[in-house]
A and B are shown apart, each in its own frame.
Chain A
Amino acid sequence: MTAGAGEERAAPIRVLIAKPGLDGHDRGAKVLARGLRDEGFEVIYTGLRQTPEMIADAAEQEDVDVVGLSILSGAHMTLLPRIVETIRSRKMDDVLIAAGGIIPDADIAPLKEAGIAEIFGPGTRIGDIARYFREHARTRT
């Protein structure tokens, strides 16, 4: 871990992985958290049943670059836009918000309209998610 003379070490990208809503299945979220760690991300995992306020609070205190929402309950059309709204209302304008889980194709366009940057369905490779985050996360000034 030695940086050469004058070489800049880029700070790791910080990602919050959160499970909104009432479903208790966080295997996917945990696999993603581990995969992102192996890709060099700093991952903060919040656990199950998070309200939009809890997610926004955590994102604010942790000053994350990306919020990744995993949702399997079917309540995504209600919850995800509310989470985006709550985060944006705290003036976190440059935080990338993405989602994954069971989300029907028909819902993808309205969710993107609501501010979810990208949606990763079942079977998405973690490498692709990592690449997306690297390309789209804010750059620190």
Chain B
Amino acid sequence: MAHGPALLTAAVGGDRRALARLLTGIENEDPHVRELLPQIFAASRGAHLVGITGPPGAGKSTLVTALTREYRKRGRRVGIVAVDPSSPYTGGAIMGDRIRMMEHAADRNIFMRSMASRGELGGIAAATWLVAASLDAAGYDPVLVETVGAGQAELEVARLAETTVVVEVPEMGDEIQAIKAGLLEVADVVTVNKADRPGAERSAGQLRAMLAGAGGRFAAPPPILLTIATTGEGVAPLVDAIEADRTRARSPDQARVRARNQLLRAVIERSRRRVEGHVEWDSTVNEIAEHRIDPITAADRLLDT
């Protein structure tokens, strides 16, 4: 198996196994792959990076399958990154998103990769973005990134996408209200999935009312659609809405917002690595534990030396 630049050349040239290896290297923060990042970045073909998020059970995987079917109908090659949470206790994960992708199993114009989040503080957002960038470089467009909208790390992933689709379900009641605020904040397109259930229209109406008066980020509220992912109903209009958002997402202002998020994530992650490797890390931790120094002064000291 090739390494270094040859691996990247093979991966973007259509060698699926090389691409898979490259993605593993990104996930595992392989130093050889780290050296390739400038080239991966430069090899971008401008794929539309679409985040799909929503509460557990909203039908995200099924919707991604339906979206993939629609994009394939339109002659597009589809990259998929499905992110599932790692257990905070064991670090293990179960990733079942392929189950619903079975109809696409033999299609060589689709590349799907499952990723475990590997802990809130791990660089999942950065790694996911780089995996998506690699699929872009290999000629997949769009790249769909599916996450559980349950935690901060997953929200971060959504925030790095160009277009974020939030998947809701009808009548989930009060328990969902809390999630909505955080999730809807990152929505560029909202779909009420499982729209064959009672109350779908009303839920869509409520969401519209909620977002219309919100101002700020919602000066132009995101479109709210209805889908039934299992039958494919409403999926073509959803793809239209995602495609329409591409223009907005590509404006210089939006590109800067996204770049700022990417840079901030990278700075936070890299400073964390740097100070954790600092020779005075352990002694500083002890000093704080013994109340001899406050954490903020200690942090400044570690960052300045």
Contact = CB atoms under 8 A, between A and B. Distances in A.
Mutual binders A and B: yes
Nearest to B115: A42
Interface string A11-23: 1101000000000
A63 B98 CA distance: 14
B225 interface: no
A79 interface: no
Contact of A5 (B91, B105, B114, B276): B276
4 pairs of A and B residues whose beta carbons are closest in the complex: A47-B99, A37-B92, A63-B20, A11-B28
A2 interface: yes
B95 A5 contact: no
A61 B118 CA distance: 19
B95 A91 contact: no
Interface residues of B, number: 39
B129 interface: no
A57 B278 CA distance: 43
A95 to B, nearest CB: 11
A72 interface: no
A90 interface: yes
Interface in B98-126: 98-99, 102, 105-106, 111-114, 116, 118-119, 121-122
Contacts of B86: 12, 42
A37 B90 CA distance: 7
A130 to B, nearest CB: 10
B98 A44 contact: yes
Contacts of B87: 37-38
B17 A6 contact: no
A43 B93 CA distance: 6
Contacts of A51: 105
Contacts of B24: 11, 14, 63, 140
19 contacts: A3-B276, A5-B276, A5-B277, A5-B281, A5-B282, A6-B277, A12-B118, A37-B93, A37-B94, A39-B92, A41-B92, A42-B86, A45-B98, A46-B99, A51-B105, A57-B105, A60-B16, A61-B16, A61-B112
Given A5-B276, A34-B94, A37-B92, A62 B114 contact: yes
A42 B92 contact: yes
B178 interface: no
A57 B106 contact: yes
B295 interface: no
A39 B16 CA distance: 29
A90 B99 contact: no
